[in-house]
Amino acid sequence: MEKVEAATPPPAARPASPLTARQEARRRRILRASAQLAGRGGFDAVQMREVAESSQVALGTLYRYFPSKIHLLVATMQDQLEHLHATLRKKPPTGDTPAERVAETLMRAFRALQREPHLADAMVRALTFADRSVSPEVDQVSRQTTAIILDAMGQEDPSPAQLSAVRVIEHTWHSALITWLSGRASIAQVKVDIETVCRLIDLTGGEPEPGGPGVRGA
């Protein structure tokens, strides 16, 4: 059974926000090194000492930003989703309904992760292993996923029913990633599951009112 690397120093608080330009550049190097190591060898390849060396920061500095490997990989997933969201905004989905647009968006996200299977596996494992201490990072991943879905829907001010549908869609997408990564589902099966759950959006009145609030689809 895999052992999750524990932080040897005591967990420390992350740097206060907002970061200085130098701190932000350092954080970006750390996340880039994490993604590169995970992309080459998956979860086990991400060792904190190697991340520190690759990003040219002291090991103690790395632990001040990310108290453990799990914190680091979950933050890496949020960063990857943020980049993906920016890409999706440049080329919005073309579906006629909110459900079609969200399904198209999530499948594009899935295919982006499919191109980096080791990285995807490492990030999803970290989410699975995350305990309460990683809640801030996990919440960031959830918020980023929600933003991607709402952008695709064209909803700036979603109703409670729509937010409930979005949560179910997020859970299904996460589950689909796990089943695909474990070899228990094909890409075709994932697509069917995503399209099926996205129909919940149309049942909650996902199409914005003419002239009403909305944002450009992603």
Which whole-number Å values give the CA distances from 154 to 37, 109, 205, in the listed order? 36, 17, 12
Q: Taking 70 as the threshold, does the pLDDT of residue 213 lie above it?
A: no
The predicted pLDDT at position 10 comes to 36
Give the residue from 117, 124, 98, 103 showing the smallest Cα distance to 191. 103
Q: How high is the mean pLDDT of the chain?
A: 87
Task: Write out pLDDT tens, residues 40-65.
Answer: 999 999 999 999 999 999 999 999 99
Instruction: Write down the architecture of domain 69-203 according to CATH.
Output: Orthogonal Bundle (1.10)
In this prediction, residue 184 carries a pLDDT of: 94
101-119 average pLDDT score: 94
Alpha helices in the chain, H assignment, sequence order: 21-41, 48-55, 59-65, 69-90, 98-114, 117-129, 135-153, 160-181, 187-203
Alpha-carbon torsion 35, 36, 39, 40, what sign? Answer: negative
d(CA 139, CA 172): 17
Q: Distance (Å, rounded) from C-alpha 166 to C-alpha 177? A: 16
Q: Alpha-carbon distance 82 to 75, whole Å? A: 11
Q: What is the DSSP letter of 183?
A: T
Helix (H, G, I), strand (E, B) or coil at 70: helix
Mean local confidence (pLDDT), 164-185? 94
Please state the pTM of the whole predicted model. Answer: 0.82
Query: Stretch 204-217: mean pLDDT, rounded?
Result: 46
From the number of C-beta atoms within 10 Å of its C-beta (0-12, 13-18, 19+), residue 163 rates as middle
Q: How many residues does the chain have?
A: 218
Residue identified by tokens 């647009």 is 101
Residue pLDDT, tens place only, 80-94 = 999 999 999 999 999
